[in-house]
Amino acid sequence: MQAHFAELAALVGQISGFIYPNEIELQWSILIVIYPYLTGLVAGAFILASLEKVFNVKELQPTYRLALLCALSFLIVAPMPLQAHLGHPERSLEMLMTPNPNSAMAMFGFVYLWYLLLVLLLEIWFDFRADMVRWSQQSRGLKKFFYSALALGTTDISDEAVAFDHKAVYTITLVGIPSAFILHGYVGFIFGSIKANPWWSSVLIPIVFLFSAIVSGIAMILLIYYISSLIRGQQPKMPCMDKLASFLLYALILDFSLESLDFIHRLYESEESIHILSELIVSKLFLSLTIVQIMLGTILPLLMLAFGRYSRLPAELKRIIYVISAMLIQVGIFSTRWNVVIGGQLFSKSLRGLTAYKLEMGGQEGLLAAIGFLILPFLIFLLLIKILPPWEDEKETVPAAIEA
């Protein structure tokens, strides 16, 4: 406790102007930056998967199952930073028991469960069911039981049964697209609906959140497809990479346009908050916004992608350009979340002052915990691709032994 007070006392010297006395303690920490980043990846990965399933973009076939498992990995971890951040995590199920229908945050529990159970898990189950039955039939002992249980004991992999599975997947994906929009859009709404905060309160925030989510999701799948291909000693299929790069480029252009629109609109209307927000952008957020988010995270990858995609460079070079762009985009989108969440708390609601955020190294809401939450989805992903291999060329063969 005393350590906490000492931290706050140290922040006093970093206040410029005037803040309400209670504002010295930033309420939403880096964990709340991580949460929209993770759900954004979920939504983006799923949208990419739906491009293949619903809009029949055949080139993306190699990434379909990859995207689903990736989305599941991130979705499993997504509520963890939220739990860790609560003052009383043991009471978190109250949100499911007595949700306040007027509160966007109360909808989280239901939207999350809906998306996890009725979209993602259901889709993965139907898509993998025939394979799970096959793997069960081809194994013995515990593995046989494991896959049989995963398949809920079904054994029918006749053409009719599999056709039903495919129809189910199509329908669920169709329902899943707006569900993915809601899963991440409502996070944007949580911020966008706070009239008390002029940095957040905007109609565009849910939309910008969603488009930056799509950008980050596509970029993540591009990276995962590339890296997994390399690890498995295979060449990533160029039509797939090119298609990923195209969609990434389109999404990035849209995202950048929307963010620019928000920016121009604020400057033009020049409401009272413009003074403190301008000061915020040129001082506290200069590095994370102007440099990282805009230049390194949006404009540079945009140019690189456009150049790489539409030039006549050899395939190896194109792949490298795509990969570097995708990595820059990840950093950029994370920075976007930082600028929204932390940035919105760095200025006072009195519009007369700025404060500071000190990111601790350890502790429940420190940098190490944050890094842990960012690494965990990849660990879960590794586990998932061992249990449910998404590779086309391994569909028929049984997955290797599960021991760690």
Partner 1 sequence: MADKINRRDFVRKVVEGTASAVMLTVCGPMRSLANASEEAATEPSAPAYDATQHYYGMGVQIDRCIGCGKCADACKSENNVPREPFYFRTWVERYVIDAEREVHVDSPGGGLHGFSPPAAEEDILRSFFVPKLCNHCDHPPCVQVCPVGATFKTQDGVVLVDQDYCVGCRYCIQACPYGARYLHPEKHAADKCTFCYQRITKGMLPACVEVCPTQTRVFGEINGISSPLHRLMKMEEIQVLKPELNTEPKVLYTKLDGEVR
Partner 2 sequence: MKKLNFSIGKVPDQAVRIGTVFILGLVGALILRHHFLPESFGELGHYRANAIPGIKALPLHYAGWQTCGACHEDELDKKMAGFHKNLSCETCHGPAYDHAVVDPTASTPNVPRAREACLTCHGYLPSRPTGFPQILELQHNPMEPCIKCHNPHNPAAEQVAPACSGCHGEIARTKAISHHALLQCETCHTAPPEHKENPRQFLPKKPTNREFCGQCHSKGTQTSGTLLGVDLTSRDIPKVDLETHGNTYLCWQCHYPHYPEGK
Give the closest residue to 370 by CA, choosing from 66, 32, 44, 19.
32
Of residues 192 through 251, those in contact with partner 2 by CB under 8 A are: none
Among 164, 189, 250, 378, binds partner 2 (CB under 8 A): 164
Contact partner at residue 401 from partner 1, partner 2, none, CB < 5 to 8 Å by partner kind: partner 1
Among 14, 55, 93, 156, binds partner 1 (CB under 8 A): 93
Of residues 104 through 133, those in contact with partner 2 by CB under 8 A are: 117-118, 122, 125-126, 129
Of residues 79 through 108, those in contact with partner 2 by CB under 8 A are: 96-98, 100
Residue placing its CB nearer to partner 1 in the complex, 54 or 109: 109
Among 10, 14, 94, 238, binds partner 1 (CB under 8 A): 94
Site string for partner 1, 256-295 (x = CB under 8 A): ----------------------------------------
Q: Which residues contact 36 (CB under 8 A, 6 or more apart)?
A: 184, 187, 188, 209, 213, 337, 340, 341
Q: How far is the CB of 174 from partner 2 (least distance, A)?
A: 17
Is 154 one of the binding residues for partner 2 (CB under 8 A)? yes
Q: Say if residues 25 and 200 touch (Cβ distance below 8 Å).
A: no
Q: How far is the CB of 96 from partner 2 (least distance, A)?
A: 8
Q: Say if residues 15 and 354 touch (Cβ distance below 8 Å).
A: yes
Contact partner at residue 265 from partner 2, partner 1, none, CB < 5 to 8 Å by partner kind: none
CA distance 65 to 225: 11
Is 87 one of the binding residues for partner 1 (CB under 8 A)? yes
Angle between helices 238-269 and 30-53 (to 10 degrees): 130
Contact partner at residue 1 from partner 2, partner 1, none, CB < 5 to 8 Å by partner kind: partner 1
Residue placing its CB nearer to partner 2 in the complex, 3 or 97: 97
Largest pairwise CA distance in the chain:
72
Residue placing its CB nearer to partner 1 in the complex, 138 or 234: 138
Is 88 one of the binding residues for partner 1 (CB under 8 A)? yes
Give the closest residue to 200 by CA, choosing from 34, 342, 78.
342
Site string for partner 1, 345-384 (x = CB under 8 A): x--xxxxxx-------------------------------
Among 28, 114, 189, 250, binds partner 1 (CB under 8 A): 28
Q: How far is the CB of 382 from partner 1 (least distance, A)?
A: 15
What residues line the site for partner 1 (CB under 8 A)? Answer: 1, 4-5, 8, 17-25, 27-28, 85-95, 97-100, 102-106, 108, 142, 190, 193-197, 345, 348-353, 401-404
